[in-house]
Structure 1
Amino acid sequence: MINSDLLKSFIAAADTGSFSAAARQLGRQQSTISSNIAKLALDSAERFENSAALISAGSPVSLTIAFDEDLPLTPFMGWLQHIHKQYPIMQLKLLRKPSTQIFELVKNNQIDLALTPSLESNSSFYEFTAVGHICYMFACGKQHPFRHKRQISNDDLATSTQVVASSMLESQLVQTVAMSSHRWYCEGYDTLLAALQVNIGWAFIAVDQSAPLPEGIVTFKPDFSATQHRAQYDIIWQKNKILSDTKRQLRDQLATVVANLSRH
């Protein structure tokens, strides 16, 4: 990112036509203005050289990756650290959005790779790789009444406040997921967890079974839930867009992370 002081010096010099006039306008010494503009030129040249090096190596100068906002990011931090280590000068934009918004951004070529729940129908605007299942479990806070209840019936769930991801409001799944008539809608995984941690209600959340549960959260099994609940996830990108070697490598690495989650 360009230093704001350097940029202000450049703009003032361009507007006034001289270093001395720019110095008077900004209340600085003329030597400071000339030094800032020299630094700006050097920084710009370095960024250009770094970008040229990435391009010549077949690597993208920038990359936008999106995760469905209802997923925890913790399982993917090692992969993100690997990207930073392998491509230290590449600019990365990390997004967490509802899946409906992610699909639209992919369609408009604003996202390079995204991890989203699978759609039942084929899309006309994106390619995808099915990468595995992510486990979902019933959860509540440690002080919630369900924590110590030996049996939890459908009626218990239906009459207790349910914390639901707000992304469900735009999904047909809301009729399946929303089991209680008393609901709080929360935007994003972290907000949903925060509501559970203060014992506002119960929720159906994605969990990383290879790691401890978030602080203050416990899971439970209702009477009717005898099987493990999993959701299929895909990595998607814009249709008919040829992925570079780097993007294919990163896609495959992300697929491996999700596959490892599926095995637990």
Structure 2
Amino acid sequence: MNLSLEQLRTLLAAADSGSFSAAARQLGKAQSVVSSAIANLEADLDLGLFDRSGRYPQLTSAGERIVAQARAVLASSEQLQAVALELHGGVESRLTLAIDDDSQLSWVAEVLSRFAEAFPAIELELLFPMLEDLTHLLREGRAQLGISYERLQPSPELEFHALGRLAMPIVAAPTHPLATLVKVGLDHLRLERQLMVTGQRGGGERERFRFSPNVWWVEGDWGLLELTKRGLGWGSVPQYLLQGPLARGEVVLLPVDFLAQQQSLGLELLWRRDRSLGPAGRWLKEALVAHARQVFRD
């Protein structure tokens, strides 16, 4: 058995159009050519694909199953051709984007949807390392792009573009002792357990905004928020995660009086200085910068 893609295309044209003559017009071929191609396919498969007893040919039960398989084969063929075209054009076959916390997907997902349309054949990998874990992946070449909170100690081998700033309010559960205070000072915070985000590598980045000697470390903003809602400590959480919990009364904003302005952190897009991005990487970098300009504009 030696089937061709052209035979499968002819089969689908006949099945979808409802007649051999309509399939011939669609394919720009003579009806006799289409009829012969179908007959040869039936002979190769040793199956009757069409019932020709009526005015128009009707798919048999075997024909319906073969048509379904033919669609899958042709779809795979088209995907293979798309990959080959992208590789021939210098488009990378795989791209890894590292994001500091999966909660960032709330604004990144729109860009990824457009990326999927622009580069449908690329294998995209999303990783969610925290703090130094993210910069380590970039330095080691494990990821090509990264979205990180601003770093205390920038790495000389990494280039960056500022994306915007995120408000990081200090919150606690309504039942927490700090929630009863009219003003919360530094001494009050020091007396209560603080919940803080950490990466697996530890490091100095996680110590930023530490005010209490008593800390529980949590790998991720979602986990930190959940523990805060349960009254297990107070913490600083990105503003965009708080709309629902605040509206439902699961957490309250603490009236912290010693900070000159609302606590915030910048977001940065990172990549290696010495490694050029391919067409897909450059597209994603530019799209993230443009979208962030809309999301985080003042």
Q: Same fold (TM over 0.5)?
A: yes
Aligned residue among 153, 156, 162 for 2:188: 156
Higher strand share: 1
Match of 2:142 in 1: 110
- Aligned in 2, Cα 1:226/1:122: closer, same or farther, shift over 3 Å? closer
Higher alpha-carbon deviation: 46-55 or 247-256: 46-55
Note the 1:228-243 alignment, pairs <5 A: 228-243=262-277
Match of 1:244 in 2: 278
Note the 1:5-16 alignment, pairs <5 A: none
Q: Give, in angstroms, the shift of residue 203 of structure 1.
A: 0.5
AA of the residue aligned to 1:194: E
How far apart, in 2, do the equivalents of 1:243 and 1:126 lie?
A: 13
Q: Write the deviation string for residues 5-56 of structure 1: whole angstroms up to 9, x where unpaired.
A: xxxxxxxxxxxxxxxxxxxxxxxxxxxxxxxxx9x99887555323113334
**Is the CA contact (8 Å cut-off) linking 1:60 and 1:246 kept in structure 2?**
yes
How far apart, in 1, do the equivalents of 2:193 and 2:111 lie?
A: 36
Aligned residue among 92, 97, 112 for 1:60: 92
Residue 144 (1) aligns with residue 167 (2): no
**Is the CA contact (8 Å cut-off) linking 2:148 and 2:270 kept in structure 1?**
yes
Unaligned residue ranges in structure 1 (runs of 5+): 1-37
Residue 204 (1) aligns with residue 236 (2): yes
- Aligned in 2, Cα 1:178/1:224: closer, same or farther, shift over 3 Å? same
Aligned residue among 206, 209, 214 for 1:177: 209
Residue 82 (1) aligns with residue 120 (2): no
How far apart, in 2, do the equivalents of 1:190 and 1:108 lie?
A: 27
Structure ID, larger Rg: 2
- Aligned in 2, Cα 1:192/1:152: closer, same or farther, shift over 3 Å? same
Q: Secondary structure at the match of 2:120?
A: coil
- Aligned in 2, Cα 1:51/1:160: closer, same or farther, shift over 3 Å? same
How far apart, in 2, do the equivalents of 1:103 and 1:167 lie?
A: 11
Higher alpha-carbon deviation: 45-54 or 229-238: 45-54
| C-alpha RMSD over aligned residues | 3.2
Identical aligned residues as a percent: 22
How far apart, in 1, do the equivalents of 2:211 and 2:176 lie?
A: 18
Match of 1:165 in 2: 197
Higher alpha-carbon deviation: 107-116 or 61-70: 61-70
Q: Between the two structures, name the one with larger relative contact order (CA 8 Å, sep ≥ 6).
A: 1
TM-score by length of 1: 0.71
Q: Secondary structure at the match of 2:86?
A: helix
- Aligned in 2, Cα 1:243/1:154: closer, same or farther, shift over 3 Å? same
- Aligned in 2, Cα 1:120/1:46: closer, same or farther, shift over 3 Å? same
How far apart, in 1, do the equivalents of 2:93 and 2:256 lie?
A: 49
Higher alpha-carbon deviation: 100-109 or 117-126: 117-126
Residue 222 (1) aligns with residue 264 (2): no
The number of residues matched between the two structures is: 226
Unaligned residue ranges in structure 2 (runs of 5+): 1-69
**Is the CA contact (8 Å cut-off) linking 2:170 and 2:254 kept in structure 1?**
yes
Match of 1:191 in 2: 223
AA of the residue aligned to 2:82: N
TM-score by length of 2: 0.64
AA of the residue aligned to 1:135: A
Q: Give, in angstroms, the shift of residue 165 of structure 1.
A: 0.9
AA of the residue aligned to 2:274: N
Q: Write the deviation string for residues 96-115 of structure 1: whole angstroms up to 9, x where unpaired.
A: 10231222211221112101
Q: Give, in angstroms, the shift of residue 66 of structure 1.
A: 0.7
